[in-house]
Amino acid sequence: MRILVIGGAGYIGSHVARAFLDHGYEVTVFDNFQTGLRENLFNDAAFVHGDIMRPEQLRAAMAGGFDGCVHLAALKAAGQSMLQPELYSEANIAGTINILSQASAAGIARIIFSSSAAVYGSPQYLPIDEDHPKEPENFYGFTKLEIERLLEWYDRLKGMRYGAIRYFNAAGYDVRGRIKGLELNPENLLPIVMEVAAGIRPKLSIFGDDYPTRDGSCIRDYVHVSDLAEAHVTAFEYILKNDKSLTVNLGSETGISVFEMVERARSITGRPVPAEVTGRRAGDPSELVASSAKSRELLGWVPKYSDVDTLISSTWKMYEKYVTL
Ligand code: UFG
C-alpha cells in the first residue's frame, strides 16, 4: 500500500510517517519545511519538497499513484489564529481545497485528516464525545470544522472516504528516539516547559489562574503523539476495509492542569521551571477532556504512552541535551 503523508516532516507528521513505515507501508512525505524539518525525514521513505498552496506541486507528487493520503499540513497555534486569521484561512482551508481537488483528479479516494478538539469550543458537558455541539472558540478550530464539512461533501459527491481524527493535546516524542527534530519556536505548553527546564528560555507564562477549574489553570487532555500516529494507520485500514468515512476523538480521557503539568515536569527533569501567571490567552476554553470510546470501539485504539510521566520523560529526552547550566 502506498501512502502520501502531506506535512510528514512536522512534529506529528513525522511520527505518523514512522507509524505507516513500521506497518510496512510504502511512504512518500510531502512537505514545504515551513515548520517541518529535514532531520525528520526517514531513509526508508521517499520525499517530495512541495507546498500545498501550489496545486501543480501537489499534482506532480500525486501522479505517482497512492492508495491514500494523510493531511497534516496546517497551522496549529490557537492563540495565533485569533490574531492572524487570514493566515489560517489560507493555509488550512484553501490548502485543504487544493489537496482535495488534486487528490480527486489523481484518483486518490482516501484521506486521513488531522482535525482537532478545537472544533468543540467550550465544553457543554464532559467528557467530550463526537456528538458534542461544535462551537469553536478560536479561529483555528473554525478552520478544522470547515474542513470536516468539506470532507463530508467530498465523500457524498466524489466517493472520497475520510478519517477525520480530532486530536486533543498532542505531546511527547517517539520513545525509541527515532524522531530527531525539535519544533522551532513551539507554542504548546509541554515543549515550552521543556525549553524553560533546559535553560533555552528564561521562564514560562501561565495563561490565567482564574478559570473555574480545581486550581484555576486550564485543564487539557494530553495524548502521546505515537498513540495518535498509530490511530492514523488503523483509521486508514478502517476506511479501506469498510469503504466508509469516520470521525473520531483521540484523547487520553485524563485532564491535567497547567500547574500540575509544570509541577510534574519539575519533578521528572529535576530542573527549576520558573513560571509566572500572566493574563488569559484569547480563545482558551477552561477544560477539555475527551471521550475516546468511539476510537476504542471502531479502531480498537488503546493509548500506550499517554500517561503524564511518559509524555514528559519522552519529551525531556529530546531537550535535556540542551541543558547549559
Ligand atoms: N499554556 C500556558 N503557557 C504557555 C502555553 C500554553 O499557560 O506558554 C496553557 C494554555 O493556556 C492552555 C494549555 O497550556 O491552557 C495548553 O495550551 P497549548 O497551547 O499547548 O494547547 P491548546 O490547548 O491551546 O491547543 C492544543 C493544540 C490545538 C488543539 C487543542 C485541542 O495546539 O491544535 O490542543 O485540545 F486543537
Q: Per residue in 291-325, pLDDT tens?
A: 999 999 999 999 999 999 999 999 999 999 988 76
Average pLDDT over residues 201-209: 97
Report which ligand 1 atom has the smallest distance to the Cα of 171: 20
Residue 325: the pLDDT is 61
Q: Supply φ then ψ for residue 108, to 5 degrees.
A: -90, 110
Task: Say how many Å lie between the CA of residue 188 and the centre of ligand 1.
Answer: 5
Query: CB under 8 Å to 10, separation ≥6 — which residues?
Result: 31, 35, 36, 37, 40, 72, 73
Does the annotation count 140 as an active-site position?
yes
Task: Say how many Å lie between the CA of residue 283 and the centre of ligand 1.
Answer: 10
Average pLDDT of the chain, as a whole number: 96
278 CB within 6 A, ligand 1:
no
284 CB within 6 A, ligand 1:
yes
Task: Say how many Å lie between the CA of residue 77 and the centre of ligand 1.
Answer: 8
pLDDT digits (tens, 9 = 90+) for 78-105: 888 999 999 999 999 999 999 999 999 9
Number of Cβ within a 10 Å radius of residue 284: 18
**Residue from 220, 277, 278, 306 to probe ligand 1 pocket by mutation (most atoms less than 8 Å from CB):** 220
**Residue from 115, 207, 287 to probe ligand 1 pocket by mutation (most atoms less than 8 Å from CB):** 207
Residue 235: the pLDDT is 98
Would you place residue 172 in the very low, low, confident or very high pLDDT band (cuts 50, 70, 90)?
Answer: very high
Res. 64: pLDDT tops 90: no
Domains of the chain, earliest start first:
2-171+222-250 (3.40.50.720), 189-221+253-322 (3.90.25.10)
Atom 33 of ligand 1, nearest CA residue: 76
Cell of 120: 468543540
pLDDT digits (tens, 9 = 90+) for 235-288: 999 999 999 999 999 999 999 999 999 999 999 999 999 999 999 988 788 999
222 CB within 6 A, ligand 1:
no
Which percentage of the chain shows pLDDT scores above 70?
Answer: 100
169 CB within 6 A, ligand 1:
yes
Residue 179: the pLDDT is 96
Which pairs from 234-237 meet CB under 8 Å and 24+ separation? 234/299, 234/300, 234/301, 235/112, 235/163, 235/165, 235/299, 236/3, 236/20, 236/68, 236/70, 236/110, 236/112, 236/163
3 CB within 6 A, ligand 1:
no
- Cα–Cα distance, 303 to 111 (Å, whole number): 22
Task: Say how many Å lie between the CA of residue 23 and the centre of ligand 1.
Answer: 31
- Cα–Cα distance, 29 to 266 (Å, whole number): 36
113 CB within 6 A, ligand 1:
no
Average pLDDT over residues 163-189: 95
Residue 283: the pLDDT is 78
**Residue from 218, 221, 263 to probe ligand 1 pocket by mutation (most atoms less than 8 Å from CB):** 218
Average pLDDT over residues 151-160: 98
Shortest CA distance to 64 belongs to which of 83, 78, 50, 80?
Answer: 50
Which percentage of the chain shows pLDDT scores above 90?
Answer: 93
Res. 27: pLDDT tops 90: yes
Report which ligand 1 atom has the smallest distance to the Cα of 280: 11
Q: Whole-model pTM? A: 0.97
Residue 284: the pLDDT is 85
